[in-house]
A and B are shown apart, each in its own frame.
Chain A
């Protein structure tokens, strides 16, 4: 059962990382245009400097 003392913190930290990542995406407006973003990837224009 010793392993629990590592695994539980690890699982919590991983979850927290995911949460932090999600909060980052919300704060940086990445859900403003979900439809457009999912289509932009299909663009056939080669672009070395994609717009933010």
Chain B
């Protein structure tokens, strides 16, 4: 959003000021980095200092609230160059697509709300000052003058500030429904009309201050709500921005980097080792291995050779592959799966939030009560003015001021607390649903585990073999080789002529004999069920290095904590029986299922739901998306595929799983607070409404009841922080 530079015509007083805009000078920042682990002043300084010291960086600024760094850099410098710098300083960093971060629309709406809030606050304070003197006993002409001044402030202020309520109320009424905004609008408008009428007749009671206070408190609730969602939305769009969708297209022997959206069927696409398939296709040239774990949950890499069909989302491990695209964009299997999720998603909107349930009871009740008191007083006194006055007082006092704050204040406090713990609440009712959970279903690969292999058997090898293995593994970027060379802390043997055969393994010559490290079939061994790589030295029988998936930090703690909280914990995985069973035993999960297909997972969750369980699904892969969206509430780690994150209500930003247990606890407390807040608001109403209906309500009582209930509710919510 631009800042208008003051021009002569607008304000002569500003001409003397230097023409600087306060807008940060990073408007044309070329690089955006997400820094999920920064948390304090020390981090800000360290990151900014480190980045600015890097050659080519012109300016860098950290935004701690969004946990993000914007960097203005010389052309040619890429995020890839800066990420190692930050990792050297000890901070996780991920590239963001600055284009995808444009949140100007949401930003503008937030600013508009804040502006309205400010105007309402300003007007409320001034009118309150005048009202205090009226309550203190200002009489006759003085009182009239104060009322007229109040009217002059209140009417334009409400005309500007209360627009969101008017608009919402109108859109609800025009389709013949009632929502919370209808009684609000009615109360504000009726209060203004009766007060004006009273003022013109030199009456005693004017509700200008109440109308403004109502607008102010309700806007505060709206703003809090908006802010919580804006933060979640910007963090979610940040996650989407993490995947910079580019692909290398080969045309006439030349390689061009293009956006994935530009690819069409029949294009040849080069996928480098470590890259993800951008489209569905068939391998034309190259040999490699594919990691399909995100799609199927299977950890064992699949051998890839020309002719094999690949789907978007699979990761190429060893050698470069050229694929011919058979389906692009919307038609890829990845995208079709994501669409299925969107369909399943719509089922979830059946959950009605506590606020909606309250509003359903509340909105008609308020109208009926107010109409009844109008009719009753009109019949009893025969005076329209008195009856209208009392109806307005009833509406103002019952108006859901505290109700409007009850939910947003709590969700803001709870989401803020969870965000600091590294959890992003994407869905508005996710916290309430999380609080009801009694069963937790975990996926294995990528959720309980990191998806990074860990060597398990080092004992069966002679030191010589280990040193040969290390020498062979050293040069490869295959995940198993990387893990092997990290785990083996032995001297490297002198192996000459090391050559990597993509898709098969690595071979070399050691003391005149051929040595090989790679797939079972390639070194002449039997394929086994576990993830393994085989070492053969000369003619000796090949030996296997076995790997298990490294546990995600906090995985065992979270399972332990959930069980202690009395929740049922299940493990559903698409991986092999051996791997899943070992993991379940390691974590102490009794109920587990291996080889589960996506629809098996969905069916299992549906069965659990049918038994009356509220299921929390934690998963990351495409094979989990169905389960994620059919569960009562779902969590996925930030490393999950975009489709899985979209399907889930809560995203774990860091690597640690431990916050999940805390989240369940906080969600439970948040829901309790919301209920408490509703009760508080109801108690205030129960005291004040009889007064209003009986005609004893004065503007002073209205102001007291309204402010006191709003403040109590907010304070109660703040106890969560």
Contacts and interface: CB of A to CB of B under 8 A. Distances in A.
Given A28-B22, A33-B63, A36-B63, A1 B142 contact: yes
A28 B65 contact: no
Contacts of A15: 122, 125-126
A51 interface: yes
Given A32-B65, A33-B66, A42 B41 contact: yes
A49 interface: no
B126 A39 contact: no
A26 B63 contact: no
Given A26-B111, A26-B115, A11 B129 contact: yes
A40 B153 CA distance: 39
A2 interface: no
A45 B65 contact: no
A18 B122 contact: yes
A39 B3 contact: no
Contacts of B589: none
Interface string B59-77: 1011111100000000000
Nearest to B152: A12
- SS class, residues of chain B in contact with chain A: helix
Given A16-B122, A34-B65, A36-B63, A45 B24 contact: no
Contacts of B65: 32-36
Contacts of B59: 51
A36 B125 CA distance: 30
B254 interface: no
Interface residues of B, number: 33
B118 A19 contact: yes
A3 interface: no
B63 A19 contact: no
Contact of A29 (B24, B64, B130): B24
B63 A32 contact: yes
B22 A39 contact: no
Contact of B44 (A12, A27, A39): A39
Main secondary structure of the interface of A (DSSP, over half): helix
B72 to A, nearest CB: 12
Nearest to B119: A19
A45 B142 contact: no
Interface in B1-39: 1, 3, 21-25
Interface in B96-146: 111, 114-115, 118-119, 122, 125-126, 129-130, 142, 145
B201 interface: no
B679 interface: no
A22 B62 contact: no
Contacts of B45: 43, 45
A18 B63 CA distance: 27
B219 to A, nearest CB: 14
B340 interface: no
B106 to A, nearest CB: 13
Given A28-B3, A39-B40, A52 B64 contact: no
A34 B122 CA distance: 22
B149 interface: yes
Contacts of B44: 36, 39-40, 43
B329 to A, nearest CB: 34
A8 B149 CA distance: 9
A4 B126 CA distance: 14
A30 B115 CA distance: 13
A12 B126 contact: yes
Nearest to B129: A11
Interface centre among A22, A31, A36 (most CB of B within 10 A): A36
Contacts of A35: 64-65
B259 to A, nearest CB: 29
Nearest to B111: A26
A37 B125 CA distance: 28
B149 A52 contact: no
A17 B119 CA distance: 12
B102 to A, nearest CB: 14
A51 to B, nearest CB: 7
Interface string B263-303: 00000000000000000000000000000000000000000
A35 B65 CA distance: 5
Contacts of A4: 142, 145
A30 B125 CA distance: 23
Contact of B126 (A11, A33, A34): A11
A45 B25 CA distance: 21
Nearest to A45: B45
B41 A43 contact: yes
Contacts of B22: 28-30, 52
A16 B24 CA distance: 27
A40 B65 CA distance: 12
Nearest to A41: B41
Nearest to B149: A8
Contact of B64 (A8, A33, A51): A33
A25 B315 CA distance: 47
B64 A23 contact: no
Contacts of B40: 39
Contacts of A42: 41
A52 B3 contact: no
A9 B298 CA distance: 75
B118 A29 contact: no
A28 to B, nearest CB: 4
A15 B65 CA distance: 30
Contacts of B142: 1, 4
Interface string B422-444: 00000000000000000000000
28 contacts: A1-B142, A4-B142, A8-B149, A11-B126, A12-B153, A15-B122, A19-B118, A19-B122, A26-B114, A26-B118, A27-B1, A27-B111, A28-B21, A28-B23, A29-B1, A32-B63, A33-B64, A33-B65, A33-B66, A35-B64, A36-B65, A39-B64, A42-B41, A43-B45, A51-B59, A51-B61, A52-B24, A52-B25
Interface of B: 1, 3, 21-25, 40-41, 44-45, 49, 59, 61-66, 111, 114-115, 118-119, 122, 125-126, 129-130, 142, 145, 149, 153
Given A12-B126, A36-B63, A39-B40, 12 more contacts: A4-B145, A11-B129, A16-B122, A19-B118, A26-B118, A28-B22, A29-B1, A30-B22, A33-B64, A36-B44, A39-B64, A43-B41
